[in-house]
Amino acid sequence: MLKFWPSRKAAFQYPIGEAPRTAVLVPWFRTGRSVQSFPGWTQNASDYAPAAIAGTRAQLLALTAEPPALTHALIVLARPTDMLLTNADRDQLWRAFRVPVFEQLIGAQGDRLAAECEAHDGLHVEAQGHDWTGYAIDEGLCACGLRTPRVSSPVPAERVRAAAMFAR
Q: Which of 146, 163 has the CB closer to Zn ion?
A: 146
Contact region with Zn ion (CB under 5 A), list: 20-28, 57-65, 82-90, 138-146: 138-146
The Cα 118–Cα 114 span in angstroms is 14
Should residue 144 be labelled a site residue for Zn ion when binding is judged by CB under 5 A? yes
* Smallest distance from Zn ion to CB 90, Å: 16
Which of 60, 123, 142, 151 forms a contact with Zn ion (CB under 5 A)?
Answer: 142
DSSP 154: E
b/e map of 149-167 (b: 16 or more CB within 10 Å)? bbbbebeeeeeeeeeeeee
Among residues 117, 123, 125, 151, which is the contact residue for Zn ion, using CB under 5 A?
117
Ramachandran assignment for 145, one of left (phi > 0), alpha (psi -120 to 50 degrees), beta (any other): left
Residue 119 binds Zn ion (CB under 5 A)? yes
Q: What is the 3-state secondary structure (H, E, C) of 16-45?
A: CCCCCCEEECCCCCECECCEEECCCCCHHH
Considering only the stretches 29-37, 56-64, 86-94, 109-117, report the one whose residues sit in contact with Zn ion under the rule CB under 5 A.
Answer: 109-117
β-pairing, 52-55 with 22-24?
Answer: parallel
Measured from the CB of residue 4, what is the shortest distance to Zn ion in angstroms? 38
**Contact between residue 23 and residue 45 where contact means Cβ atoms under 8 Å apart:** yes
Nearer to Zn ion, 96 or 114 (CB): 114
If binding means CB under 5 A, how many residues of this protein chain bind Zn ion?
A: 5
Q: How far is the CB of 129 from Zn ion (least distance, A)?
A: 21
For Zn ion, give the closer residue by CB, 119 or 136.
119
Segment interacting with Zn ion (CB under 5 A) among 61-69, 83-91, 117-125, 152-160:
117-125
- Say how many residues make up the chain: 168
Closest C-alpha among 36, 38, 34 to residue 19: 34
Interface with Zn ion (CB under 5 A): 117, 119, 142, 144, 146
